[in-house]
Chain A
Amino acid sequence: MSSTTTSAAPETAGPLLSLRGLEKRFSLSGDFLEQLKFKGGKLVREQQYVHAINGVDLDIQRGEALCVVGESGCGKSTVARTVMGLITPSGGEIHYDGERIDDRTTKALMPYRRRMQMIFQNPYASLNPRMTIQQTLEEPIRLHHPEWSPQRVKDQVAEVMASVGIAPDWGARYGHEFSGGQRQRIAIARALAVDPEFIVADEPISALDVSIQAQVLNLLMEAQRERHLTYLFITHDLAVVEHFGTRVAVMYLGRVCEVAPTATLFATPRHPYTQALMSAIPRLEDERPQHLRLAGEVPTPVDLPSGCVFHGRCPHADARCRSEVPALIATDEGGRVACHGVEEGRIG
């Protein structure tokens, strides 16, 4: 593995983060004894899995905000947590700045911990209730810069607090004394405290009041401008995507079905699922909304459908869709889409 592609030449290097065939399945079957079953007079070992993500390919370029959208259970949060190393992938590779990071030990990951940080969904649970804000913010700095003097740590905390709009005298208080929006600011400050270059935000505004959502979103965009951050932004709110994202990846049942620049995706969605998703956005001028209604429900991720995961609900599905898994192919508009129909020109 060459070290020339690391931070030495960040502008010219490839994608900051790339996921290759990432897979994660969670066992449903419990421990060994619970897996043993009697079937037809024979003792067999049976294991069932939830296939949370199966074969995700994504590239995140420097400086962009890649939004991942999809409905509940499509695996978007699992992607975020796998990228951060909170979950070990069952298959596939994660490359950060050209270096493979998914097979590293905790110790070998340490240099990357400073460069990538995470913001969580629930600001009521993401702050330790027994630590003051000052302690919460100092901890990552002390960990990653043990050589810094106490004064320098304090200065860094003050700087990062100011940048997210936290008054300096909040430091002596505990997390429960703040509102949701204030806590999320503190959580953002914690992520920014070690000057990361890449931030994974797992639905950071979905637990907040609508009035606060815009504030926090603007704060994140401001931080991106000032600190040249790259985001992997998980959300299910398409309005946020339109406002925030440089590019959008649409996920369905643990697979990416379409990746495209935000404007392109909203103007000309190609994948049938994306088209249905886009038609569901309520618009002011809609008098007689023409939602594309999908038949049926999302299949269970325990027994994945063969072929394209979407074929059971797709109005354009044919025999090939039922048997062959579509790969992501480039489209004329600069996006990539995983659909046999688009590839064959059946779907406009």
Chain B
Amino acid sequence: MTIPTSPLERSPTTSRRERLRDSYLLYSFLRDPIAQLSLLVFIVLVAAAVLAPWLAPMNPYDLAQIDILASELPPLWIDGSDPAYLMGTDAQGRDLLSTILYGARVSLIIGFGAVAMQAALGVCFGLLAGYLGGRVDAFLMRLADIQLSFSTLMVAIVVGALFKAIFGGATYSAYAVPLLVLIIGLAEWPQYARTVRASVLAEKGKEYVDAARVMGLSSRRIMFRHILPNTLSPIFVISTVQVANAIISEAALSFLGLGMPETQPSLGSLIKSGFDYIQSGSWWITLIPGLVLVVLVLVINLLGDWLRDVLNPRLYKG
């Protein structure tokens, strides 16, 4: 038997890096200035947040560094500012730039943490519901319906208020970040579960899944090794949108006083703490963190939008 010559021009030993170079993802990225700008801004914001302890002029968590006499100083470009405080100070005398950097850190941790939690729950439930079908499917999807009928904020307010009432404010402050991750994560998993289930139903009918079953592979291996990698595109797209949503949820909760305590400010709680002083002319305490929040959420959403266009199989099949 003769081996048919391959009509393919690409060498068979392409590395991952070469695959990326040839991919449609990179091609489309290099031709989309909005995506490039969004990614750049996003990377700058994330880097600034991650490097906050080294970048920030002072540590807003360190009470010894806070000077209450320097409170409500305006930003540098307004009369009466102190050159030590680039963006002015808040009502407690904390340097606003440092507080925003640390606050963005908290917001991003909660955003990504909550999305990781949602994704873990949603992907598992979606895979189980889609692959096993029948009663498991009906049960999990009704559970998702019930979960979706409560709004995220309502669940968060009830759980947060209960936790605060039972364990007290001090315990709440200590566990605020994991608690918010848990609440936002638990409230939004059905988004993932539904999308993953829909993709699994589409993939399940394909013959490679039958081939894996005929081989004798376990259901778990078929679900995670064969089906899951083929449902990643929609998961990526939802994840970007969900990170933005989680950050907004956290900000909204903090604004209501049920999120991060003022001693560990997130962007949301900064906006809230500044809101009380907006009438007295100290608008920067609210406006600057507000702008950072808007820009952060906007670039994530723009990136998600671009990713959705690229990964949409109707526009491009790969």
Which residues of A are in contact with B by a Cβ distance under 8 Å? 31, 81, 84-86, 106, 109-110, 113-114, 117-118, 120-122, 125-131, 139-140, 143-144, 165-167, 169-173, 176-177, 179, 181-182, 187, 190, 194, 219, 222
Contacts and interface: CB of A to CB of B under 8 A. Distances in A.
A130 B226 CA distance: 8
A142 to B, nearest CB: 10
B213 interface: yes
Nearest to B206: A125
Nearest to A167: B3
Interface stretch (B7-15, B40-48, B64-72): B7-15
A122 B2 CA distance: 24
Nearest to A176: B318
A120 B230 CA distance: 20
Main SS of chain B's interface residues?
loop
Contact of A144 (B14, B208, B216, B229): B216
Q: Would you list the 10 A-B pairs with minimal beta carbon distance, nearest first? A: A113-B216, A126-B207, A130-B229, A120-B207, A169-B12, A128-B208, A125-B207, A125-B206, A118-B214, A140-B215
Interface in B1-57: 1-4, 6-8, 10, 12-14
A84 to B, nearest CB: 5
B246 to A, nearest CB: 28
A80 B4 CA distance: 30
B12 A170 contact: yes
Nearest to B214: A118
Contacts of B78: none
* Centre residue among B1, B12, B211 by max chain A CB count within 10 A: B211
Interface residues of B, number: 28
B136 interface: no
A168 to B, nearest CB: 9
A194 B7 CA distance: 29
Interface in B191-222: 206-208, 210-218
B217 A117 contact: no
* Centre residue among B10, B138, B208, B229 by max chain A CB count within 10 A: B208
Contacts of B10: 177
B214 A109 contact: no
A303 B216 CA distance: 35
A126 B211 contact: yes
A131 B4 CA distance: 22
Contact of A113 (B14, B207, B215): B215
Contacts, number: 82
A166 B3 contact: yes
Given A120-B207, A167-B6, A222 B226 contact: no
Nearest to A116: B214
B214 A165 contact: no
Contacts of A86: 210, 213-214
B216 A128 contact: no
B214 A139 contact: no
Nearest to A193: B215
Given A167-B3, A170-B6, A219-B1, A125 B208 contact: yes
A156 B212 CA distance: 19
B12 A190 contact: no
Contact of A109 (B3, B13, B216): B216
A260 B3 CA distance: 36
Contacts of B206: 125-126
A190 B211 contact: yes
Given A126-B208, A129-B230, A167-B3, A177 B8 contact: yes
Contacts of B1: 165, 219, 222
B106 to A, nearest CB: 36
Nearest to B229: A130
A222 B1 CA distance: 10
Nearest to A128: B208
Given A131-B226, A190-B211, 7 more contacts: A125-B206, A130-B229, A130-B230, A170-B12, A179-B7, A181-B4, A219-B1
7 contacts: A113-B216, A120-B211, A127-B208, A130-B229, A139-B215, A165-B3, A172-B14
A245 B4 CA distance: 26
Contact of B211 (A118, A144, A171, A177): A118
A156 to B, nearest CB: 15
Given A118-B211, A130-B229, A219-B1, A139 B217 contact: yes
